[in-house]
Structure 1
């Protein structure tokens, strides 16, 4: 527990650094002096604090969603961006842009959630129907499914001249987050609490349907709860800041290497590591080309893909 508090303190330190990075002059001195009619305070309250909270909530939510997907699919290399979930949410956003462009943000999240749920269920259905001789085939199937869904989305977005609008949802970026535009992510925070309360059920469901039934649990209900949590978390993040790839894959795997497979014990660590990882990547993206900014989706994609390859090669070396 002491190590967890130290890790949480490190995340808080990164959050403090994040508050004072940016083009506008926001420093402790400017906040105390109230220079420029309190402009620094206004930027801190309207932009920097909401952005930092959004980063923390998105990192926690996606990391835990990845852990749930890995338990339900019984594969360490599955997460929303390697199972077609994120791409399905993007298809839902295209439907919103085509047919319901003026609905509130909560409506967009619900539509994206329905599509994300359908895409994830389709992925799990495909896994049941095909023989899987290697654990590496599972993420490959998910990536192929995501590619098909993404191609369909891109085709219709091109036909209806919505590529630019759709691009805003496909690349993760916190630069536009302000007060009033991130609050949906608190739903993801609530869902992480539900995931922690149901952690033992997800662990049992990951053992297979027969094992779950023998212990007196309804396997279908547990699977449905997990799919709903994953879909809602993915949709809220996509609607608010766009897609952040590989996050739900690398964080649970890194925590698993240190903590083992006890989900209830691992969830607090996954939440802390997820928030810290996204905070660190966001700070790097804001400093590398300062005063310009590299989108968080690009930074996490580069780092995440490298770690993903390492995990794949490590697994192959162990079982090859």
Structure 2
């Protein structure tokens, strides 16, 4: 009778209602921020002027809507790229900008500027994606070859690798008088996003769907190669799929807007505090919170020095670095 008795009244209630409420709140916040992004800027665009003023309606369709869509896609996809990278490396402190992937993609972009300056955007995206794929492979090989025991040392290895590649890129750009062109890609900004110049970021949206379809495989990969193989999963094949997802997302966002740091690191870690480490359950949360984070930072970048605009990468870098330090200190305090 005792073994079959009802649980005591002090048993904690399931967290699903709280998660549902947080999810609804995040969705509403995203809608509000997207609406603010449509109507915040130097030019006077308001819901009233859109219906009464032809130039305002044209500006909304040609600039504000593409910019907002690109922000949402970039934020959602970069967050998921960071989540997939963390599953591949089995480390919570990595993302494309801390593993050298972004630097390799930037080197690929510089190569197109030097060797094929007239290459269309689709070609530049493909070259950047291949370079990012090479960077992901090199980082995984280095991490496997170096016996790194500490969680914090793994991103440090990636940062050093990215620093070497970034130094080579900067040196080549300096010798060829292309530093100004290189700075255009290293500073993330959506100020120049208009109709006809943002469509390639939809490739990142396609990779989000691929990540969602393969979410359970990535969850198993996060448990280790031996465990995944024992479950009958082709480990190398799905690691390659994850590498392609990360590389294409990084390249498409880089070609569209430039470098956006720390996003893929901070958002998945915050989500893991709420929903755990299940990739399928985490992907919608990471997508929504990543979009909220990027759109909020972009609106903030537009209003801090109005009518001037601060590069998005500066705002994201400051806030993301602060959150990264908080996560580091939180993990270390829990470890002790």
TM-score range, shorter chain: over 0.9
What's the RMSD between the two structures over aligned residues? 0.9
Following superposition, the deviation at residue 170 of structure 1 comes to 0.7
2:49 corresponds to: 30
1:85 corresponds to: 101
The residue correspondences of 1:229-240 to structure 2 (distance < 5 A) are 229-240=245-256
**Residue number among 291, 310, 316 corresponding to 2:307 in the alignment:** 291
Following superposition, the deviation at residue 317 of structure 1 comes to 1.3
1:72 corresponds to: 88
The residue correspondences of 1:237-276 to structure 2 (distance < 5 A) are 237-276=253-292
Whole-angstrom CA distance in 1 between matches of 2:149 and 2:212: 32
Whole-angstrom CA distance in 1 between matches of 2:272 and 2:221: 18
1:225 corresponds to: 241
Give per-residue Cα distances to partners, 1:181-213, cap 9 Å, x unaligned. Answer: 000011111110110110000010111111111
Following superposition, the deviation at residue 2 of structure 1 comes to 5.5
Give per-residue Cα distances to partners, 1:7-58, cap 9 Å, x unaligned. Answer: 2222011100110001111012211222xxx110010011000000010000
Whole-angstrom CA distance in 2 between matches of 1:89 and 1:126: 18
The residue correspondences of 1:27-176 to structure 2 (distance < 5 A) are 27-34=46-53, 38-176=54-192
Whole-angstrom CA distance in 1 between matches of 2:124 and 2:44: 35
2:213 corresponds to: 197
Following superposition, the deviation at residue 229 of structure 1 comes to 0.2
Secondary structure, in 3 states, of the residue corresponding to 2:199? coil
TM-score by length of structure 2 reads: 0.93
TM-score by length of structure 1 reads: 0.98
Whole-angstrom CA distance in 2 between matches of 1:137 and 1:224: 24
* Aligned structure 1 segments of 4 or more residues deviating by more than 4 angstroms: none
Q: How many residues align?
A: 317
**Residue number among 6, 9, 17 corresponding to 2:36 in the alignment:** 17
Structure 2 residue runs without a partner (length 5+): 1-19
Structure 1 residue runs without a partner (length 5+): none
Q: Which protein is bigger by CA-based radius of gyration?
A: 2
